[in-house]
A = this chain, B = another copy of it.
Amino acid sequence: MTKRLKTECTTCSLSELCLPLGLNENELEQFSGIIVEKRNFHRGDYLFREGQVFTNIAAIRAGSFKGITTDIEGIEHVRGFYFPGELLGFHAIHSQRYAISLIALETSSVCMIPYPELFRLSRELPKLQEQLFSVMSQKLLPQFKVDPNNTAEQRIARLLLNISARFKCRGYSATEFRLSMSREDIGHYLGLATETISRIFKHLADEGVLEVNRRDITLKDMRRLQILACG
């Protein structure tokens, strides 16, 4: 499933979204030295599992993942969707175990950063320590919050805008994209039935706000979508 390669942060188009932000050339090389690239995650593969011992911070290079937890009754809860440039695993530093499982939604690749070495290096490179605090701090304000007061339409509009914005800042189209997750995943994430997702997509398409063909989405009227998102 995995292949180890020398990773070159210097040539990575995502380095500005990632931990190397702010490091000079020499520091970047030291940082590059500790990371390992793993390739070839396919749909359904686990990046790590809930309960597994914490070893690495993971940085998504390509593809996408969903984060899930499984409750006492064995019901799967979708906690989030993750895209290139996003860092995963910081939540496990305290308990030394991952609290969520991460599952590839499509063919994906990831940089694995061994935490002990990251921690050691952060003591040597003040810039890296600063960036670590900054990145963790950023993660404390959830970029997307499912608000139970919002209607189904508002939740879906907000999710689409959120995903659109995240694609945009990675250099992809903000208006045309393929959703790598199923209607069921979206439903579990937003706290809605899959039927409701379908109905709202159809309704938004009827209103001319977007076009939808199974997982392919084209946003036609961002303005309206933003208005719908607010309510």
Chain A residues in contact with chain B, CB under 8 A? 71-73, 77, 90-95, 99, 119, 122-123, 126, 129-130, 132-141, 146-149, 190-192, 230
Residues of B within 8 A of A119 (CB): 130, 133
Residues of B within 8 A of A230 (CB): 71-73
Known: A73-B230, A148-B191. A92 touches B123 (CB 8 A): no
A77 to B230, CA, bound (A): 14
Least CB distance, A189 to chain B, in whole angstroms: 10
A70 to B99, CA, bound (A): 30
Least CB distance, A52 to chain B, in whole angstroms: 15
Known: A146-B148, A148-B148, A230-B73. A137 touches B191 (CB 8 A): no
User: Once the chains bind, are B72 and A137 in contact (CB under 8 Å)?
Assistant: no
For A138, give its contact among B94, B139, B146 (CB under 8 Å). Answer: B94
Residues of B within 8 A of A135 (CB): 94
